[in-house]
Structure 1
Amino acid sequence: MPASPAALEALRTELVALLGERGVSADQKTRERASVDEATMSPILSEQLPLGLADLVASPSSADAIAATLQAAVRLGVPVTTRGKGTGNYGQGIPLHGGLVLDTSRARAVVEVGDGWITAEAGATMVALEQAAAAEGQQLWMYPSTAQSTIGGFLSGGSGGTGSISHGSNWEGFVTALDIALPGESELVHVEGDEAQPFVHTYGTAGVIARATVRLEPLQDWRAVYATFPTFERALTAVRTLRDTTPAPRLVSADRAEVAAKLPKDAGIDPTLASLRGIVDAAVLDESIELIEAAGGTVLDVREGLQQTTRVSMLSYNHPIWWLKRNTPDTEWFHVEVGGEALIDRIAEVEAVYPGAMLHIEAAHVGPIGMLTAPYTGAEDVYAGYPLLRDLGVRVHSPHQYYVDHGVEELVALKQQTDPQGLLNPGHVIDPSLVLSGGSTASAQPVVPGFGK
């Protein structure tokens, strides 16, 4: 699978002519930066690093240039791993077989905003899309917790975030159309509706998202709400009641005091108490405050404006775990992505699965989801907890693997059509027969299908 030195040099020469000297690099530091993502969030994956190193990095500045770059690599038999900003994936963006890293983050044009939709190139950031939509009195259905993520990266590797309480994952109607770069196709291939969905959350293994059209809705008047609770259990009650307000919140997150103490200092976060942060519609702000107080909480602050709601988003999903890891360097932490009402109803039993475990929780349309984190003692201990969690009624997704684990059979069939040479992000798709009952694989890396990142 690795490309020959002659093929790599030929590709470098062709890409310089196509993209200019600044558009392609064989510099060691550039290649190293383009070959890492958030795999270090997993101690299991960290033990395996480095997993791969790019031979070349290309940075096309338009959707059409993305397609031309891909064609040049495929024609010379060079593997291609597509990259946004590398902020959210756990190894899925690492070039396991070297070759070319196709960095789409310079193709950042917001093409058009329409009534209920927005079109942008793959490198446009989610916050740029949100700002463009707001200027037209609209808002994105959803965006990831890292608002500076690119739309291409979010659609290829993420699954949900702020707004998911109402709209679910990014493969549940968020995407209306894609322009895909495919091996052997000189121009972008336009797909809409159901034909676009198979390319979502597949890490660029079947095609490269160069341009996307996603759904908007009428702009709402949001408020960032910060509250504290004497116990985490009371915060959980508020998570459940807040999600059922109408209009629904855009986000509700909560953490134990031990995690809240590691978050960035903020007047809205008391490091000695459990913390809840929410993004609620101004129309139900008073009702939301009443629900928080009824659960035993105290509202510390209410803030207005996109900058403030974005800040709340940046303290959701795996971000609190990132801050916990950063601010307790003497402890190595792992986390498991979990979901289900048992996270509220049976919290003591859930956290007891792992010694020292703490739950970060999010309200979601499918019931609460969260990150269960604990001190790391070894991979076998982590995996041994999965069946115990399922016995409690908890959905489990393992972030400690770098394969596509959503719709694997459908992806393999699609990839046989679009990428018969197997040059798109090789090593990140496994044989569906390796997925065993109970959500593990025959390899060393468990895959738990059915619960996306």
Structure 2
Amino acid sequence: MVVVNMWLEKLMELMGEDKVIVSQNVKERLSKDYYWYSPVLYEELKEKIADCIMKPTTMDEVKEIVAFAVDHKVPVTIRGAGTGNYGQAIPLKGGIVLDLTMLNRLLEVTDQTVRVQAGMKLGVLEKSLRAQGKELRIFPSTFMTATVGGFLCGGSGGIGSIRWGNLWDQNILGVTVMTVEEEPQIFDVAGEEIEQYIHNYGTTGIVLEAVLPIENRTEWEQHIVSFHTFKEAIKFADELAHIEEVTKRLVSVCEWPIPTHFQGLKEYLQPNKSIVMLELEEKSRELLKQLIQKYAGAIDLTIPASKYHRGLKVSDFTWNHATLWAHKHGENMTYLQARFKVGQIFEQMDAIRGKYGNEVQFHFEYIKIKGEITPASLPVLIYQSKERLYEIIDYFRSVGVEINDPHTYLLGFGGYNLRMEEILQKKKENDPYDLLNPGKIPVKQETRLNK
């Protein structure tokens, strides 16, 4: 075996050749995430690749690898399942991709919390909890493959956010973190300091374990409701989202023609109808029927609670799964992350539709932000060029629609009100040599970090 980097030879001597993966195919696969959702990121990141992949099975192995990386000043990029959309897990400067999916144990379940290792899949965790009469509060639409650590460090919200908000809303109670220094330290973090490890692309420390709040299991029915117009669908969804006595896990709205891409739903959907996809507590059925009648809708599909997450799942067509289906079955499709103003949503949509027609197709996810019901938006776009994309972004902003840019890998530029000053200080403390996922901190701030 020919090894180009001297440090790779030494790493193989230390850990054993079988634990240092240098296969080109494996490196290509595990150096990438879902960055290709963005044509802009695809061009910027398609050539980036690690020098090797490592899959530790214990904390001691992680510690040994990290100490080696610090000694040889080798970059380390932490990876879960690679379901992020912004290139979070792509190594910009080579080095080691540290895949934590083998650290996947469920450590403790109490009446109100669960403690797990970072590499555990959220789908496996949710299934285990539901078997014990419990469930998670929030998880992404990719939960069947996404890991706990990947969601915490690269995500924000998802299914359940209509009720519980996003990751910053006390949906993480604790994390166990390892520093990247000569003698790596392991410590627990709780309270407000946890925010310095949320959605930070793994730049401030290596999250090894997490403590999450859990709730009693709810019997969730799934529904797809269709409407003649998108505005009727929005009005229905908005009213339902605000009815507190209806317990909800998902309220997702897609205008036609986005549903034309949903291959697994084609036999159920009516042509030219916008749809609302729901997960509601089983006992809400009668109130739901009354509200559907009010807005002249129709139920296209109901999946009973007895079949929840057994087979077809409506959540597989919500959040950024809607973008995924459009990308796979449409032509040159990408997306934005937007927040419309409550009370001005129709005026803003009319302005955008008047300017761009069906080049922009609307998709909303109802969530809570600081306790307020908010229509977050993931509009699907027909991509023409980077220049056209940013012209559309500028127009959204000109009519008062906030944009979190999903076409950049730079931390903080995608929004989420990250407390960058505190994150930078924590990175300086925990990663003094800037080896963790280098290049993801914006240049100005990176310069200040290294002063």
Same fold (TM over 0.5): yes
SS in 2 for 1:350: helix
- Between stretches 385-394 and 168-177, larger displacement belongs to 385-394
Contact map agreement 1:358 1:374 (CA 8 A) in 2: yes
1:165 and 2:167 matched: no
- Mapped partners of 1:105, 1:351: distance in 2: 43
- Specify whether residues 73 and 351 from structure 1 end up closer, same or farther in structure 2 by C-alpha distance, changes over 3 A only: farther
Cα gap change, 1:353 to 1:421, in 2 (>3 Å): farther
From 170, 174, 177, give the equivalent of 2:174.
Answer: 177
The answer as to 2:97 corresponding to 1:71 is: no
Cα 1:69/1:290, change in 2 over 3 Å: farther
Equivalent position amino acid for 1:402 in 2: Y
CA 352–111 in structure 1, closer or farther in 2 if over 3 Å, else same: farther
Deviation at 1:123, TM superposition (A): 1.0
User: Structure 1 residues 352, 66: closer, same or farther in 2, change over 3 A?
Assistant: farther
Match of 1:132 among 106, 128, 133: 128
CA distance in 1, matches of 2:64, 2:234: 50
User: Partner letter of residue 296 of structure 1?
Assistant: A
The AA in structure 2 aligned to 1:365 is: K
In the alignment, the residues of structure 2 paired with residue 362 and residue 308 of structure 1 have an alpha-carbon distance, to the nearest angstrom, of: 23
**What's the counterpart of residue 287 of structure 2?**
287
Deviation, structure 1 residue 247: 3.6
- 1:84 is matched with 80
Distance 1:13 1:118, change over 3 A: same
**Residue number in structure 2 paired with 1:229:** 227
Q: Whole-Å Cα distance in 1 between the matches of residues 10 and 400 of structure 2?
A: 55
TM-score, normalised on structure 1? 0.89
Over residues 218-262 of structure 1, what are the superposed CA-to-partner deviations in whole Å (9 max), with x where a residue is unaligned? 221211111111122211111101111224411111212211111
Structure 2 length-normalised TM: 0.89
Native 8 Å contact 2:35 2:87 kept in 1: yes
Deviations 1:143-183 (A, max 9, x none): 01111200010001000000111221112211111111211
- Alpha carbons 1:80, 1:425 under 8 Å: kept: yes
- State the partner residue of 1:215: 213
Task: Give the corresponding residue for 2:248.
Answer: 249
CA, structure 1 residues 407+271, in 2 after alignment: closer, same or farther (shift >3 Å)? farther
1:316 corresponds in structure 2 to 318
Q: Tell me, in whole angstroms, the C-alpha distance in 1 between the residues paired with 2:108 and 2:268.
A: 37
CA-CA distance at 1:187 after TM superposition: 4.7
1:376 aligns with 2:383: yes
Q: Which residue of 2 aligns with 1:149?
A: 146
* Residue correspondence of structure 1 range 261-410 to structure 2 within 5 A: 261-266=260-265, 267-303=267-303, 304=305, 305-307=307-309, 311-328=313-330, 331-340=331-340, 341=342, 342-344=344-346, 346-355=348-357, 356-366=359-369, 367-405=374-412, 406-410=418-422
Q: What is the CA-CA distance between 1:351 and the residue it aligns to?
A: 3.5
Aligned-partner residue type, residue 264 of structure 2: K
SS at match of 1:296: coil
Are 1:427 and 2:430 matched, yes or no? no
Instruction: Provide, for residues 257-287 of structure 1, a one-character-per-residue CA deviation record: whole Å limited to 9, x for no partner.
Output: 2111110233443344212210011122221
Q: Which ranges of structure 2 fall in alignment gaps of 5 or more residues?
A: 413-417, 447-451
Determine if the alignment matches structure 1 residue 113 to structure 2 residue 122: no
Cα distance, 1:271–1:179 mapped onto 2, change above 3 Å: farther
Structure 1 residues 271 and 289 mapped into 2: Cα distance closer, same or farther (>3 Å)? same
Deviation, 1:423, is 0.3
Specify the SS of the correspondent of 2:438.
coil
Structure 1 residue 63: Cα displacement: 4.0
The 8 Å contact of residues 166 and 368 in structure 2, kept in 1 or not, is answered as no
Residue identity in the other structure for 2:285: L
* Mapped contact 2:45–2:90 kept (Cα < 8 A): no
Give the counterpart of 2:41 among 21, 38, 45. 45
Contact 2:174 2:188 in 1 (8 A): yes
Tell whether 2:30 aligns with 1:27: no
Give the distance between the partners of 1:347 and 1:293, measured in 2 at CA. Answer: 25
Distance 2:424 2:107 in 1: 32
Q: Identify if the C-alpha distance between structure 1 residues 258 and 100 changes in structure 2 by more than 3 Å, giving closer, same or farther.
A: same
Q: Is the 8 A contact 1:160 1:170 kept in 2?
A: yes
Instruction: Tell me the secondary structure at the aligned position of residue 126 of structure 2.
Output: helix
Amino acid of the structure 1 residue aligned with 2:169: E
User: Residues of 1 paired with 2:398 and 2:292: CA distance?
Assistant: 31
CA apart distance, 1:52: 1.4
The unaligned stretches of length 5 or more in structure 1 are: 435-453
Cα distance change on mapping 1:403 and 1:51 into 2, 3 Å: farther
Aligned to 1:12: 12
Matched to 1:100, the amino acid is I
* Count of paired positions: 426
Other-structure match for 1:441: none
The SS at the match of 2:142 is coil
CA RMSD of aligned residues (A): 2.1
Contact 1:79 1:426 in 2 (8 A): yes
1:415 to 417, 427, 430: 427
Over 3 Å counting, the alpha-carbon distance change for 1:350 and 1:269 in structure 2 is same
